[in-house]
Each structure stands twice: as structure tokens, then as C-alpha cells.
């Protein structure tokens, strides 16, 4: 009975860790943006600048009004849904992007955003199908590849996931968000030394943000390095 109780506890712990890692992977997509390249709040697509919650609320208010005035405005749909994802209103973001994808089934920017939003709500199989059309072999997008990796991880296919992450790294060498996702993928497979190694590389990048350092701290804690994890979290806050 002691063994059975321990085994059940171990399985519960592993499930908890897996759920935590999948949550972190999904959150990283919100930060990753998409093919959002224009940099104008007045009329173009949002840039990748980090924002706090109040700024996201302002963005949601501005673009929500524009979207309500004209749901066919793809820029408004993209910007509004991105703000909603950042504010954890993910189901509403999916609904908006689904309609945008119906209106523009070949718009790769819309498809990329829609695929990532589907991952947010755990619809990884649908996301895989959408993301496959969000770029082309002759013009691959590292952000889409990284999202495809996250979808594969969510489906339990770690080998395919790492194939996508490594392909993304060929296009964006050293990109901390890709490395962070790759490290978390190793964590899902309980390959904690590999996870720590990759996440240390990600956190060392001058482009790494707070989320990357927090992911490293999470894996350090799993590796029994709570003291170093605490110091890293203190630095990140």
C-alpha cells in the first residue's frame, strides 16, 4: 500500500508539472506576437513592445471599439484579439480570430494569430491544422514554427515539437523565446539537465525578458536548485 500511495503521489506530481509547463508554453505565445510588423497604434498592427496590464486594457478599449464598428476590419480584429489574449480573455479572442479567418482564409497573419489563440485554449489539434497554412516552405516564419512546436508539445509529441523549435532556431539563431520553449519541451520529457542548459542560454540573451528568466527559475526549482531559483526570481521582479 505504501508503494501504491507513493506511486499515485508521483503520478499526481508529474501531472501537475506537465500542466504547469503547458501553461507556461501557452503564455509564451501571447508574448511572441506574430507577423505583426507595422508599428502604429493609430492604424497599423501592434508592435512587439512589452506592455503592462493597464496599457493592454487601453489597447483593448481602443481596438475593441473599432472592431465593433466594423468586424470586417482585419487590423482591428488582430489588435483587439491580441489585447484580449494578453488580458486572459482567450475564448473571446478565439471567437474573433475565427471570424477573421473565415473572412480571410489565406491571410497568413490572421491564421498565425488564430492558431496561437487556439493553443491558448487547449485546442492544439485544430491549431496544428491552422498553423500549417500560416506560412509556406519557401517563406517560413520562425514565430509560426515555434507555435507549431508548442502545439506538438501540447499533443504530447515532443519529438515533432523539437523539430519545429530547431527549425525556428535556424531562422532566428539564439532567439530567447524559441530557446525558452525548447527548454520547456525538455522539461515535459523530464530531461531537466537539458532543459536547464537551454534555458540558461535563453536567459543569457540580452533580448530575454522576464518570462524567460521565470521559466529558467521554474526548471531550476525542479532540478533542486531552489536557492538559485529564488535569486533569479528576485532579480526578475
Domain contains 81: yes
Q: Which residues pair with 139 in a beta bridge?
A: 136
pLDDT of residue 32: 54
pLDDT at 173 over 90: yes
Domain contains 48: yes
- Comparing 50 with 187, which gets the higher pLDDT? 187
pLDDT digits (tens, 9 = 90+) for 130-169: 999 999 999 999 999 999 999 999 999 999 999 999 999 9
Burial bucket for residue 155 (CB in 10 Å: 0-12, 13-18, 19+): middle
What pTM was computed for the model? 0.84
Of residues 123, 151, 150, 34, the one with CA closest to residue 82: 34
> Residue range 97-111: average pLDDT?
97
Domain contains 85: yes
Q: What is the CATH number of the domain that holds 73?
A: 1.25.40.10
Domain contains 165: no
pLDDT of residue 109: 95
Q: How many domains does the chain have?
A: 1
Model confidence band, residue 235 (pLDDT cutoffs 50, 70, 90): confident
pLDDT digits (tens, 9 = 90+) for 82-96: 999 999 999 999 999
Grid cell in block for residue 51: 506592455
Residues 6+ apart with CB under 8 A from 188: 18, 21, 22, 153, 158
pLDDT digits (tens, 9 = 90+) for 180-218: 999 999 999 999 999 999 999 999 999 998 889 999 999
> Residue range 102-115: average pLDDT?
96
Element (H, E) at 234: helix 226-236
> Residue range 7-26: average pLDDT?
55
Of residues 44, 126, 54, 115, the one with CA closest to residue 83: 54
pLDDT at 39 over 50: no
Domain contains 121: yes
Q: Is the CB of residue 164 less than 8 Å from the CB of residue 146?
A: yes
Range of the domain at 47: 23-136
Average pLDDT, the chain: 86
pLDDT of residue 221: 92
pLDDT digits (tens, 9 = 90+) for 54-72: 999 999 999 999 999 999 9
Domain contains 45: yes
pLDDT of residue 201: 97
Domain contains 2: no
DSSP class of 139 = B
pLDDT of residue 115: 97
Domain contains 90: yes
Amino acid at each position: 500500500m505504501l508503494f501504491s500511495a507513493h506511486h499515485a503521489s508521483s503520478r499526481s506530481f508529474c501531472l501537475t508539472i506537465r500542466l504547469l509547463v503547458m501553461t507556461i508554453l501557452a503564455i509564451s505565445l501571447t508574448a511572441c506576437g506574430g507577423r505583426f510588423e507595422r508599428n502604429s497604434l493609430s492604424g497599423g498592427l501592434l508592435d512587439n513592445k512589452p506592455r503592462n496590464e493597464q496599457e493592454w486594457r487601453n489597447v483593448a478599449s481602443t481596438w475593441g471599439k473599432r472592431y465593433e464598428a466594423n468586424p470586417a476590419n482585419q487590423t482591428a480584429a488582430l489588435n483587439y484579439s491580441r489585447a484580449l489574449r494578453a488580458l486572459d480573455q482567450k475564448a473571446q479572442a478565439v471567437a474573433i480570430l475565427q471570424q477573421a479567418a473565415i473572412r480571410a482564409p489565406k491571410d497568413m497573419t490572421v491564421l498565425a494569430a488564430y492558431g496561437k489563440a487556439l493553443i491558448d485554449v487547449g485546442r492544439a489539434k485544430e491549431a496544428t491544422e491552422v498553423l500549417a497554412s500560416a506560412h509556406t516552405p519557401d517563406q517560413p516564419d520562425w514565430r509560426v514554427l515555434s507555435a507549431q512546436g508548442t502545439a506538438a508539445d501540447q499533443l504530447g509529441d515532443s519529438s515533432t515539437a523539437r523539430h519545429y523549435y530547431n527549425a525556428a532556431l535556424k531562422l532566428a539563431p539564439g532567439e530567447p523565446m524559441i530557446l525558452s520553449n525548447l527548454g520547456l519541451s525538455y522539461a515535459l520529457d523530464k530531461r531537466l539537465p537539458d532543459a536547464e542548459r537551454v534555458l540558461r542560454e535563453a536567459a543569457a540573451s540580452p533580448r530575454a525578458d522576464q518570462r524567460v528568466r521565470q521559466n529558467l527559475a521554474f526548471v531550476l526549482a525542479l532540478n533542486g536548485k531552489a536557492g538559485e531559483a529564488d535569486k533569479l526570481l528576485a532579480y526578475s521582479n
